[in-house]
Structures are given as C-alpha cells and as structure tokens.
Amino acid sequence: MHEYSVVQSLLESCEEHARANEAKKVTKVVVKIGVLSGVEPDLLQTAFDTFKEQTVCHDAQFIINHQKIVIECFDCNTQSTLEKHEFCCPKCESVNIKVIDGEDMYLMSLEMD
C-alpha cells in the first residue's frame, strides 16, 4: 500500500511549509489526485488520518479533489476532459493525443495558524 509512503512525504512537506512560515499548525490540506495517478483516495484518507496525529497536521482537515483525465488532440488542436477511460479525442475521435492532466497527485494548498 504505497499510500502510506505518499502520506508520509505529504506530511513532511506540510511540516517544512509550516516551519518556513513560522506556523504552529496546519488546519487544512488540499490535494488534487488524478484518476491515473495510481493513488486510491480512500486509502490516502485513511493513511492521512492515521499518521497526522504526531505532526503539525494533527487537527487538519484533509480535502481531496479528484482530477479527471484531460487530453490534447494533435489532429484537431482541442483540449478535452474525458468522462470515460477511452483514450481518443471526443471531437474528432483521433488517438493522436497527449494526456495533460489526471496522472499526478499535487499538494494544492495549505491553511496554517
């Protein structure tokens, strides 16, 4: 379950940001998880709740924003958000595409006191 190592890295990043901003605690953590990231949101939530206790995030609210797959079509120069995992352009049905969002997990924002 790699969500535990992801959360440990996330909590370390929160600690660093809190120190850099002279904050005593983090009250909200917002992440964006792409559907192709390989991160399971429910497991990530459980891991965050488990490991946050001894950190500056001990009372933090954890918000997960789900990112659908966004593609760019090289044939019709259109950007589209895919509703299904069908990797072709919904406009022209070309498979000459590039995934431009939905593959990663990002720390989007922190609220600190």
Running DSSP on this structure, what letter comes out for residue 103? Answer: S
Domains of the chain with CATH codes: 3-112 (3.30.2320.80)
Contacts of 5 (CB under 8 A, 6+ apart): none
**Binding-site positions for Zn(2+):** 73, 76, 89, 92
**Binding-site positions for Ni(2+):** 2
For residue range 39-92, list pLDDT tens digits in order: 999 999 999 999 999 999 999 999 999 999 999 999 999 999 998 888 999 999
**Binding-site positions:** 2, 73, 76, 89, 92
CA distance 75 to 94: 7
Rounded to 5°, angle at Cα 103 from 21 and 41: 70
